[in-house]
C-alpha cells in the first residue's frame, strides 16, 4: 500500500556504525505499508537500556537502523487489513513486527505469541524505530492509548512499562503478598513500584544509588533498602520485614553482576525470582536453586492484551512516569549523555512533535 499526504523526507536518529553516536539526518519517510501495518506520526519517543545494546551491536541489528523501541504517535495511514484502528487514533507502538502465525508460539497461549522465533523483527531493535518523525508498527501488536494517558507517559510504557508489567504478571502474586524490586529506582523500577502498590502488594525497593532510592520511595515502595550495604545486610533487612522468610517474589531489574544472586537470596524458599535485566551472564549460587528451591523465570515484555491492560491500569490508577524530556530529535546526544552519567532518575524522553505535545498539555490543563 502506498501512502500519500505525508512528506517524502523526515528527520531521524540512526545507528549507522556500531559503538558510534547516532547520526541525526534526513531520510526517506516510510510510505509502503504491509497489510497490517500502521504509519504513525511520532509524538514522543523514549531512550531505553536496550538502545545501548543495539548501538553496541549486541542485538544483531542490520545497519542503518532508526533507534528507539519506545514510541507513540497518531495514526496517519493504515494497511488494508487493519480493522481495529482508524486514522487519528492515539497509539502506543508494539515492538514485535510480523509474527509468522504458524509456529508453536503463534498457535499457542496468548501470553507466548510474542516469542515467535520466525518474527520479522522488533521495532527499534532490528527494524526502524521511534527516533524519527514517522514510524511503522504492526497494528496486531500495538495498543490504543486511553484518555487520561499522555503521549509523554505512553512512550516509555512501550517497553519499560510492558516489561515490568509482564514481570509482575509472571510473578503471579496476590494482593497482600510481598515483592522486591532489585533496581527499584530506575526507569522500569519506579514503574514497578507504582504498579505493585496499586495491585495491593507490599513493595520492597532495593537500589544502589541515592537518586534511585529516593525515586523508589516516592514511587510507592513501603520499604527501601540500600544495596551498597552488601548482600548480607540486605538479606537481613528483608527478613526483618517478612517474618524471617523472605519476599514471595523478587524481580531483577538491575544488570549488576551480583543482582540476580541478591534477588534469589532475599526470596523465600519455593518462591520465584523473575529475571528481567539482560547482563551478559546471570550468576546464581547453586544453593539458591537446589537447597532453597527458588525458581527463576525469565520475562520478555508482555503480549498485546497485557499491554492494553497495563495502559488501562495506568489511566485508572493515575500511574505517572518520571520523565526527563528533551525537545526535538536534535537533542538526542544530550539525552544520551545524561543517561550515561548515571544521574538520571526515571526515563529520558524526546518530544518529537513539540507543537502537538504543547497543545495536549494545554487541553489537559483546561479539563
Condensed to tens digits (0 to 9), the pLDDT of residues 200-241 reads 999 999 999 999 999 999 999 999 999 999 999 999 999 999
* 258 cis-preceded (ω within 30 degrees of 0): no
> How many residues make up the chain in this entry?
367
Whole-angstrom CA distances from 335 to 98, 191, 326 are 31, 20, 7
Counting Cα atoms < 13 Å in the Cβ hemisphere of 71 gives 36
d(CA 70, CA 166): 16
**pLDDT on residue 364:** 79
Cα dihedral 128→321→187→235 (10° resolution): -150
Give the span between the Cα atoms of 225 and 150, in whole angstroms: 32
Contact in structure between 142 and 93 (CB atoms under 8 Å):
yes
pLDDT of residue 73: 98
Extract the C-alpha cell encoding 20: 558510534
Dihedral, CA of residue 338, residue 339, residue 344 and residue 348, to nearest 10: 100
- For residue 292, give the nearest of 338, 328, 261 by alpha carbon: 261
Q: For residue 156, what pLDDT is reported?
A: 97
Place of cell 540476580: 260
Residue 199's SS3 state is: coil
The backbone torsions φ and ψ at residue 320, rounded to the nearest 5 degrees and listed phi first, read -115, 150
Low-confidence ranges of the chain (pLDDT < 70): 1-2, 4, 367
In 3D, which of 242, 313, 7 has the Cα closest to residue 133?
Answer: 7
Cα–Cα distance, 60 to 42 (Å, whole number): 25
End-to-end CA distance of the chain: 39
What is the model's pLDDT at position 362?
86
How many Å apart are CA 281 and CA 279, to the nearest integer?
5
Instruction: Report the C-alpha gap between 78 and 145 in whole angstroms.
Output: 17
Q: What is the pLDDT of residue 2?
A: 57
Amino acid at each position: 500500500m502506498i501512502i500519500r499526504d505525508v512528506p517524502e523526507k523526515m528527520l531521524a536518529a540512526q545507528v549507522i556504525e556500531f559503538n558510534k553516536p547516532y547520526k541525526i539526518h534526513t531520510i526517506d519517510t516510510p510510505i509502503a505499508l504491509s497489510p497490517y501495518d500502521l504509519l504513525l506520526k511520532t509524538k514522543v519517543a523514549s531512550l531505553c537500556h536496550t538502545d545501548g545494546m543495539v548501538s553496541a551491536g549486541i542485538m544483531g541489528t542490520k545497519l542503518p537502523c532508526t533507534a528507539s523501541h519506545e514510541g507513540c504517535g497518531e495514526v496517519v495511514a493504515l494497511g488494508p487489513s487493519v480493522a481495529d484502528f482508524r486514522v487519528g487514533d492515539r497509539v502506543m507502538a508494539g515492538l514485535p513486527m510480523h509474527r509468522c502465525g504458524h509456529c508453536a508460539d503463534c498457535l499457542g497461549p496468548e501470553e507466548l505469541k510474542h516469542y515467535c522465533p520466525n518474527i520479522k523483527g522488533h521495532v527499534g531493535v532490528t527494524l526502524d524505530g521511534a527516533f524519527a518523525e514517522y514510524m511503522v508498527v504492526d497494528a496486531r501488536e500495538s495498543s490504543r492509548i486511553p484518555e487520561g494517558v499522555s503521549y509523554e507517559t505512553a512512550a516509555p510504557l512501550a517497553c519499560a512499562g510492558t516489561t515490568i508489567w509482564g514481570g509482575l504478571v509472571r510473578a503471579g502474586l496476590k494482593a497482600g503478598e510481598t515483592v522486591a524490586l532489585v533496581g527499584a529506582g530506575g526507569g522500569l523500577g519506579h514503574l514497578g513500584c507504582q504498579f505493585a502498590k496499586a495491585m495491593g502488594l507490599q513493595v520492597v525497593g532495593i537500589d544502589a544509588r541515592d537518586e534511585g532510592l529516593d525515586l523508589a520511595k516516592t514511587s510507592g515502595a513501603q520499604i527501601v533498602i540500600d544495596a551498597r550495604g552488601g548482600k548480607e545486610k540486605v538479606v537481613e533487612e528483608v527478613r526483618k520485614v517478612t517474618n524471617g522468610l523472605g519476599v514471595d517474589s523478587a524481580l531483577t531489574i538491575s544488570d549488576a553482576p551480583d543482582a540476580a544472586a541478591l534477588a534469589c537470596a532475599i526470596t523465600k524458599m519455593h518462591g520465584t525470582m523473575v529475571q528481567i535485566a539482560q547482563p551478559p551472564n546471570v550468576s546464581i549460587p547453586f544453593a539458591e536453586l537446589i537447597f532453597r528451591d527458588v525458581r527463576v523465570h525469565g520475562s520478555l515484555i508482555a503480549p498485546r492484551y497485557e499491554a492494553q491492560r497495563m495502559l488501562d491500569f495506568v489511566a485508572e490508577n493515575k500511574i505517572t512516569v518520571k520523565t526527563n524530556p528533551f525537545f526535538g530529535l536534535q537533542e538526542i546526544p544530550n539525552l544520551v549523555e545524561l543517561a550515561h552519567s548515571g544521574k538520571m532518575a526515571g526515563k529520558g524522553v524526546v518530544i518529537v512533535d513539540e507543537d502537538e505535545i504543547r497543545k495536549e498539555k494545554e487541553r489537559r490543563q483546561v479539563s
